[in-house]
Structure 1
Amino acid sequence: MASIPFTLAALSTSAVPGLVVFGVREHESDDSFVSAIVATEDDELLVRVPRTHQAEVQQSAELLGLAALTEGPRSRLPFAAPTTLGMTRAGETRAVVTSFLDGARFEADELTDDSHLLQPIAEAIAAIHELPLTVAQHGGLPVRSAQDLRVLATRLVDRADATRLLPETVRRRWTHVLETSDLWDFSPTMVHGSLDAELIRVGDGAVTAVLGWSECSVGDPATDLAWLLAGGPEVLDGVIARYARARNSESLSHLRARAALYHELEVARWLLHGTETHDQAVIDDAVTMLDRMVGTGGALGAAFTAAVAAAPLSSEEVIALLDQTPQVEDAQSDTAAFEALDEDRMFGVDTDFIEPLTEDADGDPSPAADDTADQVTAPLSDDDLPRDLTR
């Protein structure tokens, strides 16, 4: 086991031509990857090798997201995002080297409605949502309409209901939100897509780095706010109020209601993960969480009530409502367009980041000539790792 960091250090020199390693240490952050921190003369780098096929797909998606964040978009963000420096083959998979961004960490449930972090968090999220849509369009990232996102959420509820483990009360609440057309009349923005406290680094009262860009796309801005409900409705409301001052956005009550829905739908995803992997412990955990939702509307119930309440509208909201003519498509449509939408993540473009680099005649890393984005690499087992990695 002690040889793993040194093997990863060797792989990093193959991935980044001219790299001189001054030291290496273990890095434990995700069991899905074998990883280490490599010290250079001026900086520290992170080298990771996926252990499983699922981790490899996630890594491919993150590489695509980071590639889309070119110098222009990065200059508009008030925090740093990792930079991909190189990659090389490691057994049947690949080793990827990125910049290493460290900082203080926090848990979402540690936040309170008067936490000083609420302002920098709101500003960081608003900055992501203010990025131009061309970041995704030119970078080959998913671009989904509001109705596409509504259909995907509906399908997730249908899949959870098909397990026969979803309480009827919860299913009706979710369906009611999905069938309320006004909540889904919004303009999609650039989103991080999988934002959580675990992926945020802070220092000196500011957000210094955001990691994990595997779900970066054009999507629902509410998805980047849902995780805040782990700190309670007051935390979400506090961030949304500050977020609204940072950018012009839609009806805040509608944004809050969809964020609450996405927060609850994470339990549906957890249930489906358990049933698909036949993990009874995960299934039991998800069922327990769903049972707690029965008989109480929770954050979603309160947010939905506020969103549909007959409160006076501002002049801007009245004009917006008059201009809107929602067209709700059948959530059960079997057209090719909707069948092509993957509930978790889809990639429909070729990219050099999907497959490992090979070496050219000069020994420098270069993309394989016949690589395509639809190639599938087998899961990484201990037998597949370089000999030193299994010691």
Structure 2
Amino acid sequence: MASIPFTLAALATSAVPELIVFGVRAHEEDDSYVSAVVIGEEEELLVRIPRTQAAEVQQSGELLGLAALTAGPRSELPFAVPLALGMTRAGDTRAVVTTHLPGEVFDAEDLEEDAILIEPIAQAIAAIHALPHSVAQQGGLPVRSSQDLRLLATRLIDRAESTRLVPETVLRRWERIVESAEIWDFAPTMVHGSLDSEQLRIENDEITGVVGWSELSIGDPASDLAWLLSAGQDVLDSVLARYAKHRSAGSISTLRTRAALYHELEVARWLLHGTESHDQTVIDDAVGMLDRMVGGSGPLGAAFASSTNREPLSESEVSALLDETPEVTDLLSDTAAYEALDEDRMFGVDTDFIEPLPKKDAGDEDAGDEDAAGDAESPHAADTPTETAADEQLTEPIDPDELPEPKRR
């Protein structure tokens, strides 16, 4: 185990040949990856190796997202975004090196409606949603209409219903929402796609960085707001009031309703994960959460009921809500990262266009080298002018015995 960070540091120098390593430390933020932080001459870099095929697909999506965020779009964001620097082979998969964003991670459930972070959160989300659609269109990212998203929600509900484990009251509530044309009459925007407190980096009560861009796409802005319901309906409404000051949000009421629906459908995805993996512990956990949603009881059901019964906030109501918010001088405590229900987010990036890293046969040395070089260049071609020959990018495959076994969720 002690040798893992040093092994990753060696891989980083292969992926980024000009890198001079001054130090390395373990990085255990995500069990889906073996990772380490490498201290370079000017900045810290993050090197990660996916442990599973699912993590490899997620990493591929993130590379596409980071490549789409070229210098122009990045300049429009009020926070830093990682920059992909290179990759190299690591056994049957690859090690990817990006810039490392410093900062603390907070627990979403610690948020309060008058917290200092409410305004930075609203500003960050609004800035992502204001990015031009050309970011996705030119970057080969998913482009979905409101009806596409409505259909995805309907299919997820149908799959959950087929388990016969969703309470009838909850199921009917979901169906009423997807059947309401008014709720799905909205203009899609650029979305982060998997936003929650784990993806935000905080310093001095400001959001200084956002990570986890594997699901960047054109989609429903409500999907980037759903995680706030972990802290309660009042927190979501407080963010929405400030969000509406930064950009035209259309109907706040329907935006709130879809956010509440997405929040509840995360439990449906958790249930499906349990049934498809035959994990009875996960199934029991999901069923327990669904039972607490019956009749609008419990935090998820209450958020949904509150959201669907409210009238849209007028401009004067938004201003009044902001005027009533007291100034807060105490600081939020730093806590461990919020653990999401499932890595496979609800409206995740399409993976049809992502090809898994091909295994290299002994007889295809030359062809494999060319492929590896192409993969290494593509995620950062727009931002990194230096090109490196394929044979300089590769290193000896890492011994699988050196990698720790993945932890079970």
Q: Residues 261 and 209 (structure 1 numbering): CA distance in 2 closer, same or farther, change over 3 Å? A: same
Q: Measure how far apart 1:389 and its partner are.
A: 2.5
Task: Note if 1:176 corresponds to 2:189.
Answer: no
The 8 Å contact of residues 61 and 354 in structure 2, kept in 1 or not, is answered as no
Structure-1 residue corresponding to 2:198: 198
Matches within 5 A, 1:347-366: 347-349=351-353, 366=373
Report the CA distance shift for 1:356/1:279 in structure 2 as closer, same or farther (over 3 A).
same
Give distance in 2, aligned partners of 1:19 and 1:244: 44
Instruction: Give the whole-Å Cα distance in 2 for the aligned partners of 1:385 and 1:151.
Output: 43
Match of 2:84 in 1: 84
The Cα of 1:345 is off from its aligned counterpart by 3.3
CA change 1:40–1:252 in 2 (3 A) is same
1:33 aligns with 2:40: no
* Alignment-mate amino acid for residue 109 of structure 2: D
1:385–1:135 Cα change, 3 Å:
same
**Structure 1, residues 312-339: CA drift from partner, whole Å, max 9, x if none?**
999xxxxxxxxxxxxxxxxxxxxxxxxx
CA deviation vs aligned residue, 1:27-83 (integer Å, no higher than 9, x gap): 101111110110111111000001110110110011111110000000000000111
Whether contact under 8 Å (1:87, 1:356) holds in the other structure is no
Change (3 A) 1:247 1:355: farther
Q: Does 1:275 align with 2:279?
A: no
- Mapped partners of 2:2, 2:213: distance in 1: 30
Q: Give, in angstroms, the shift of residue 305 of structure 1.
A: 1.7
Contact kept in structure 2, 1:154 and 1:175, CA below 8 Å: yes
CA RMSD after TM alignment = 2.8
1:386 aligns with 2:379: no
Displacement, 1:248? Answer: 1.2
Mapped to 1, the partners of 2:283 and 2:85 lie a distance apart of 40
Secondary structure, in 3 states, of the residue corresponding to 1:105? coil
- Say if 1:300 and 1:68 are closer, same or farther in 2 by CA, change over 3 A: same
Q: Percent identity?
A: 62
Which residue in 2 is equivalent to 1:292? 292
Q: 1:313 to 1:209 in 2, by over 3 A?
A: closer
Give the total of aligned pairs. 348
How far the C-alpha of 1:203 sits from its partner, in A, is 1.2
TM-score, normalized by length of structure 1? 0.83
Could you say which residue in structure 2 is the equivalent of 1:263? 263
Where does the alignment leave 5 or more consecutive residues of structure 1 unmatched? Answer: 315-341, 372-383
TM-score computed with the length of structure 2 as normaliser = 0.80
1:98 counterpart SS class: strand
Residues 365 and 53 (structure 1), Cα distance of their counterparts in 2 relative to 1, 3 Å cut:
closer
Aligned match of 1:49: 49
Please state whether the residue corresponding to 1:88 is helix, strand or coil: strand
Q: Please give the per-residue CA displacement for 1:329-365, whole angstroms capped at 9, x wherever unaligned.
A: xxxxxxxxxxxxx9643135478x9669998999996
In 2 relative to 1, CA 36–313 (structure 1 residues): closer, same or farther, beyond 3 Å? closer
Q: What is the CA distance between 1:102 and its match in structure 2? A: 1.6
- The letter of the residue matching 1:386 is D
Task: Say if 1:47 and 1:95, in contact at 8 Å, map to a contact too.
Answer: yes
Partner of 1:21: 21
Q: Deviations over 1:262-307 (max 9, x none)?
A: 0010000100010111111000000000000112241111211225
